[in-house]
Structure 1
Amino acid sequence: MLLTDKNVIITGASRGIGRAAALECARQGANVVIGYSGSPSSYSAVEELIKEIEALGQKAVAVGAPAGDPETGELLVEAAVSNFGGVDVFVNNAGICPFHSFLDMPRELYLETVNTNLNGAFFAVQAAANQMKRQGRGGAIIAVSSISALVGGGMQTHYTPTKAGLLSLMQSCAIALGPYGIRCNAVLPGTIETDINKDDLADQEKRDYMASRTPLGRLGRPEDLAGPIVFLASEMAQYVTGASLLVDGGMYVNLQ
């Protein structure tokens, strides 16, 4: 029970990595604010997640609002304070990756990706950090970046800069927020099987190729990120800040 009595906010928590992290945080004793896009198609998944968290003996509340909206962070923090009494951990996980070539990248697609993945994250992290400062007991902020922060992608010219930005944001926030006892770290997933890349991985040849690049010999699962996120959120990582943790099955070190 590494997160007993902690109150955790997770964005993009209705599915994939966010959902797995929400469940593991609850297993470890935390109450969870579930941030999701607010789309009606996601609500049934959110209701199911709340039931699963409550079955683990913890509390959960959902906030449906677009991740790219600068006001969403404040809504998430207000939900945590009003329902649970405060914020101890903020996990910025929400993100999109609509693959597209560079030369004909629609301006709208670029702006949507940057707003969702980075701009909204900045203001949400700021809102959580201000609440943690007011509380005076420190806290942990974790951004789900990507191995794409370290390597390029021809069909991801709009996406990789946002993930590099999240990594850089955590490094700078570690310095800015350290005096308040707020730790800021990033996890960098490799190829994880989620809804964000299910179409890309539908090609069996592509799946096999991606798995072959990974020393552990398989693609990642959302649950593979849950443990590292809990670790960084917990007191076990009380002297860890400004760090980037690769969770990629060894793919990055094998890219040679």
Structure 2
Amino acid sequence: MLLNDKSVVITGASRGIGRAAALECARQGANVVIGYSGSASSKSQVDELIREIEQLGRSAVAVGAPAEDAETGDKLVAAAVEHFGGVDVFVNNAGICPFHSFLDMPRETYLKTVDTNLNGAYFAVQAAARQMQRQGRGGAIIAVSSISALVGGGMQTHYTPTKAGLLSLMQSCAIALGPYGIRCNAVLPGTIETDINKDDLSDSEKRRYMEQRTPLGRLGNPEDLAGPIVFLASDMARYVTGASLLVDGGMYVNLQ
């Protein structure tokens, strides 16, 4: 029970990495605020997730608000304070990646990606940090960045800068928030099978290539991120801040 009685807020938690992290945090004793887009299609997924968390003996509440809105972080924090008495852990996971070529990138696609992945994240992290500072007992902030923060992608010129920005944000926040006992770290997933890349991985040839590029011989799944997130959230990582943890099956170091 690494997170026993902790209050955890996770954005983009209706599915994928966020959902897996929410379930693992609950297994480890936490109560969870589930941030999701607010869409009707996500609502049924969120309701099922809450049921699963309650079956684990923990509590969960959902906040439906777009990740790109600057006010969403305040809403998530308010829900955590109202239902669970505060915020101990904040996981910024929400993100989009509508693959598109660079030369004809629609301006609205670029702006939507940056607002969702980085600008909204900035203000959500700020809201969580302010609450942690008021509480006076420290806390942990984890951003789900990407291996794409370290490498380029021809169809991801709008996406990779946001993930590099998240990594940089955690490094700077580690310095800014360290005096308050607030630790800030990033996890960098490799190729994980989620809705964000479902269409891209439907190409069987590309899928085989990505599997062969990975020393562990398989693509990742959302549950592969849940353990590292819980570790960084827990007191086992009490002296870890400003760090980045690759969770990519070894893909990044496989240069041959």
Quote how far apart the aligned CAs of 1:205 are. 1.1
CA RMSD of aligned residues (A): 0.4
Provide Cα deviations, 1:29-82, integer angstroms capped at 9, x if missing partner: 000000000000000000000000000000000000000000000000000000
Does residue 222 in structure 1 map to residue 222 in structure 2? yes
Provide Cα deviations, 1:185-212, integer angstroms capped at 9, x if missing partner: 0000000000000000011111110000
Q: Which runs of 5+ in 1 are unaligned?
A: none
The code of the aligned residue for 1:210 comes to M
Partner in structure 1 of residue 107 of structure 2 = 107
Partner in structure 1 of residue 133 of structure 2 = 133
The code of the aligned residue for 1:69 comes to D
Partner in structure 2 of residue 194 of structure 1 = 194
Partner in structure 2 of residue 159 of structure 1 = 159
The code of the aligned residue for 2:76 comes to L
Partner in structure 1 of residue 50 of structure 2 = 50
Provide Cα deviations, 1:91-135, integer angstroms capped at 9, x if missing partner: 000000000000000000000000000000000000000000000
Quote how far apart the aligned CAs of 1:136 are. 0.2
Q: Distance in 1 between matches of 2:254 and 2:59?
A: 41
Quote how far apart the aligned CAs of 1:255 are. 2.8
Q: Distance in 1 between matches of 2:136 and 2:67?
A: 27
Partner in structure 1 of residue 149 of structure 2 = 149
The code of the aligned residue for 1:4 comes to N
Q: Distance in 1 between matches of 2:25 and 2:204?
A: 33
The code of the aligned residue for 1:170 comes to M
**What is the SS of the residue equivalent to 2:172?**
helix
Partner in structure 1 of residue 78 of structure 2 = 78
**What is the SS of the residue equivalent to 1:32?**
strand
TM-score, normalised to structure 2, is 1.00
**What is the SS of the residue equivalent to 1:156?**
coil
**What is the SS of the residue equivalent to 1:140?**
strand
**What is the SS of the residue equivalent to 1:33?**
strand
Q: Distance in 1 between matches of 2:156 and 2:195?
A: 16
Aligned length, in residue pairs: 256
Q: Distance in 2 between matches of 1:108 and 1:54?
A: 39
Provide Cα deviations, 1:215-254, integer angstroms capped at 9, x if missing partner: 0000000000000000000000000000000000000000
**What is the SS of the residue equivalent to 1:253?**
coil
Q: Distance in 2 between matches of 1:101 and 1:45?
A: 31
Q: Distance in 2 between matches of 1:218 and 1:208?
A: 9
Q: Distance in 2 between matches of 1:174 and 1:8?
A: 19
Q: Distance in 2 between matches of 1:247 and 1:125?
A: 22
Superposed, 1:1-256 pairs within 5 Å as 1-256=1-256
Q: Which runs of 5+ in 2 are unaligned?
A: none
The code of the aligned residue for 1:64 comes to G
Q: Distance in 2 between matches of 1:107 and 1:218?
A: 35
Q: Distance in 2 between matches of 1:154 and 1:97?
A: 13
Structure 1 segments of 4+ aligned residues over 2 angstroms from their partners: none
**What is the SS of the residue equivalent to 2:8?**
strand
The code of the aligned residue for 1:119 comes to N
Q: Distance in 1 between matches of 2:145 and 2:194?
A: 15
Q: Distance in 1 between matches of 2:209 and 2:20?
A: 25
Percentage of matched positions with identical amino acids: 88
Q: Distance in 1 between matches of 2:64 and 2:3?
A: 24
**What is the SS of the residue equivalent to 1:252?**
coil
